[in-house]
Amino acid sequence: MAKRIIKKKEIPEPVPSFQERFTKWVKKNLKAIGIVSGIILIITAIILIFLIHSKNLERRASYKLSIALNLYNQAVYSQDIKGEKKKLKEVLKDLEDIEKRYKRTDHGKKALLYIGHIYYHLKDYDNAIKFYRRFLKKTKKDDLLKIMALNGLGYANEEKADFKEAIKWYSKILNINNRFFQPYAHLNMARCFEKLKNIPEAIKNYREFLKENPDSERSLQVKYKVKVLEEMSVSKK
């Protein structure tokens, strides 16, 4: 009787562990990993340098703007009218330099607003309007400064007797959530509507002012204004 041959089962090769596979992959792609790591380090370094540079620029712009605004306030509140113009022109040069050197910083952009203010004080209303509008295009954050620019645009257009344009800018203040300035936007709009002989809209906005700011020191004057305009409306009928 023939002997039955018993074969040994083939022993399977052990499956490589994750660590072994990872080590093998790293060795295989070592050059590519080095290149990518180098690129990441370079990009990180560039970003850090940019952030440090931006912070330093902002700090310098803030310092120079604070000096310029101190001189601006001295000029505006000076009792010497002739000297005021001279000082304002000097400050104007400083602000223009700040805006030019630091135009990408928040304080450099803020300089545009005060350049507009100076042109307004100098009665150069076209340039005032130009710089107020430039400021509004560049600023996105500070609602209070936006309101200052919108008011400046309203006042400058009033000085040019362009009351419709003034109303357009004053009305934009109503879209900003600020309970202090909104009533005065109505007051300014009412004044412009009155100049345009649009009595119903003038009365409406004067009333809005009284409704939103009843305790204002100007409330008595505005109430009298409403009374006079209402009497005018009745007499015309």
- Rounded-to-integer distance, Cα 188 and Cα 157, Å: 12
Q: What is the per-residue pLDDT for 200?
A: 95
| Cα atoms in the Cβ-side hemisphere of radius 13 Å centred on 36 | 6
Q: What is the per-residue pLDDT for 186?
A: 97
Q: How far apart are the first and last CA of the chain?
A: 137
Residues 6+ apart with CB under 8 A from 110: 65, 135, 139, 145
Planar angle of CA 71, 77, 83, nearest 5 degrees:
70
CATH 3.10.450.50 fits 142-237, yes or no: no
Mark the ranges of the chain whose per-residue pLDDT is less than 70.
Answer: 1-18, 22, 26, 33, 36, 39-57, 79-82, 235-237
Q: What is the per-residue pLDDT for 43?
A: 66
Q: What is the per-residue pLDDT for 25?
A: 72
Q: Read off the tokens for 203.
A: 């009365």
Sign for the CA dihedral angle at 144, 150, 153, 154 comes to negative
Helix (H, G, I), strand (E, B) or coil at 222: helix
Q: Read off the tokens for 2.
A: 């023939």
Instruction: Tell which residue, 156, 206, 149, has the closest CA to residue 183.
Output: 206
Q: What is the per-residue pLDDT for 60?
A: 86
Residues 6+ apart with CB under 8 A from 112: 99, 131, 132, 134, 135, 138
Helix (H, G, I), strand (E, B) or coil at 24: helix
Instruction: Tell which residue, 82, 150, 146, has the closest CA to residue 110.
Output: 146
Q: Is 145 exposed, middle or buried (0-12, 13-18, 19+ CB in 10 A)?
A: middle
Q: What is the per-residue pLDDT for 194?
A: 96
Q: Where are the domains of the chain?
A: 47-136, 142-237
Q: What is the per-residue pLDDT for 137?
A: 95
